[in-house]
Amino acid sequence: MTAVAGAILALSSLAGFAETSGENGTASADFTQQLTMMIGAERAVLGEVRTSHMRQLTSPPVEARVAASSGAAVTYTREWLAAQPTPAASASLTCLSEALYFEARGESVEGQFAVAEVILNRVDSVRFPNSVCGVINQGTGRKYQCQFTYTCDGRAEVVNEPRAYDRVQKVAATMLNGANRSLTGGATYYHTRAVNPRWARQFNRTAAIGVHLFYKPPRRLSQYN
């Protein structure tokens, strides 16, 4: 029996028990036991829901988030970014900001948003870790075996361009707040034009933005989805 089915069964049992309890005066201890079972089943169900999906379920609609922040759609310019407020700190914001800084700070604003899309698309994919920091640090600790080179190239990650970091931090915050992902066609992979990885020959290119090319794996290569 799945956790979802278990939760439904527990809820049904509790509902029937509550009716019986009201009519026959069943002991409160039995009711407490039934309630405990229901809460346990509910927790099991919630444990199966991916973090990203839970965030989508509990977040306000995109239109509301946009209206609450700037009242306007995203514009891929430095001027638009400069007008955005400094975001509140969080672990996800730090991870995504650092990834954009070390992977795409030399890109156009549009290119930085595109790289952010790939990272968040991976968060939503069952083939990758289900958190921003988990996606970015996947494989870290094994030299050149990581997903994002800067996390395993043996060099210290030092931010030497604070203005560039401020910009990518606002890009990261905008994406984490639910901005539309319309640039890369759902891509979960990318590389720069300076390299030609073997895997790219088998994947479907979805976009070319700035110095980066973006891809989705074909369905037959399910291990990459």
What is the model's pLDDT at position 71? 38
Pair 85, 174 in one domain: yes
pTM (2 d.p.): 0.65
Cα 131 from Cα 144, distance rounded (Å)? 21
Q: What is the pLDDT of residues 165-212, one digit of tens each?
A: 999 999 999 999 999 999 999 999 999 999 888 889 899 999 999 999
Residue 80 lies in a domain: yes
Pair 26, 73 in one domain: no
Pair 39, 71 in one domain: no
Pair 15, 97 in one domain: no
Q: What is the pLDDT of residues 97-137, one digit of tens each?
A: 999 999 999 999 999 999 999 999 999 999 999 999 999 98
What is the model's pLDDT at position 73? 85
Q: Is 205 exposed, middle or buried (0-12, 13-18, 19+ CB in 10 A)?
A: middle
Pair 40, 68 in one domain: no
Report the number of distinct structural domains present in the chain: 2
Pair 99, 29 in one domain: no
Pair 152, 115 in one domain: yes
Cα 223 from Cα 32, distance rounded (Å)? 46
Pair 20, 129 in one domain: no
* Structural domain harbouring 11: 3-47
Distance of CA 19 to the CA centre of its chain: 43
Residue 126 lies in a domain: yes
Q: Give first-to-last CA distance, the chain, whole Å.
A: 28
Residue 53 lies in a domain: no
What is the model's pLDDT at position 149? 78
Q: What is the pLDDT of residues 72-98, one digit of tens each?
A: 589 999 999 999 999 999 999 999 999
The mean pLDDT value of the chain amounts to 77
Q: In 74-131, which ranges are continuous DSSP H helix?
A: 78-82, 91-104, 109-124
3-state secondary structure (DSSP) of residue 206: strand
Would you place residue 29 in the very low, low, confident or very high pLDDT band (cuts 50, 70, 90)? Answer: low
Pair 34, 65 in one domain: no
The sheet that has 189-192: what strands, in order across it?
A: 189-192, 212-216, 204-209
Percent of the chain with pLDDT over 90: 49
Residue 52 lies in a domain: no
What is the model's pLDDT at position 182? 93
Residue 138 lies in a domain: yes
What is the model's pLDDT at position 31? 56
Residue 56 lies in a domain: no
